């Protein structure tokens, strides 16, 4: 319905981290939300500068990983967000709000799920 299938692979990987390994640094809210936004911004910047090509997607992946490291915001699925942004060229006005809302919803479901399941590790381990 939303015509943004490019969100499925990176968000599925994020969901796996949040729900299966909720105590890892890669699964924490800062990494999930800010990491994907960094990935999208990097992807759109590379797309604008170099166009949609496999080498540009690889460049966006490397730059995203470097920026995530510099920002101390680890979240490997965010690299996939940069790659699919370059390869699929989504409309930023629709893609970015949808990505932001999806990541916030993912964090909230992780939080709720950890409170409902008895004996489950608490999510998040830290918010920021």
- What digits encode the pLDDT tens for the residues 42-63? 999 999 999 999 999 999 999 9
Mean pLDDT along residues 34-47? 98
- Give the pLDDT confidence score for residue 117 in this predicted structure: 86
- Look up the pTM and report it: 0.94
Percentage of residues of the chain with pLDDT beyond 90: 88
The secondary structure element, H or E, covering residue 34 is none
pLDDT higher for 2 or 66? 66
Residue-level length of the chain: 128
Q: Which residues, other chains included, contact 79 with Cβ-Cβ below 8 Å and sequence gap of 6+?
A: 39, 61, 64, 65, 68
**CA 71 – CA 46 distance, rounded (Å):** 19
């Amino acid at each position: 319905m939303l015509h943004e299938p490019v969100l499925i692979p990176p968000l599925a990987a994020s969901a796996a981290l949040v729900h299966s390994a909720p105590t890892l640094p890669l699964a924490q809210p800062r990494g999930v939300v800010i990491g994907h936004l960094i990935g999208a911004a990097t992807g759109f910047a590379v797309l604008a500068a170099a166009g949609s090509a496999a080498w540009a997607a690889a460049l966006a992946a490397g730059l995203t990983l470097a920026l995530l490291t510099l920002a101390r915001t680890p979240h490997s699925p965010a690299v996939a967000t940069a790659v699919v942004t370059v390869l699929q060229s989504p409309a930023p006005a629709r893609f970015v709000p949808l990505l932001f809302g999806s990541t916030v919803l993912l964090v909230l479901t992780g939080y709720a799920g950890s409170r409902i399941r008895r004996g489950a590790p608490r999510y998040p381990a830290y918010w920021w």
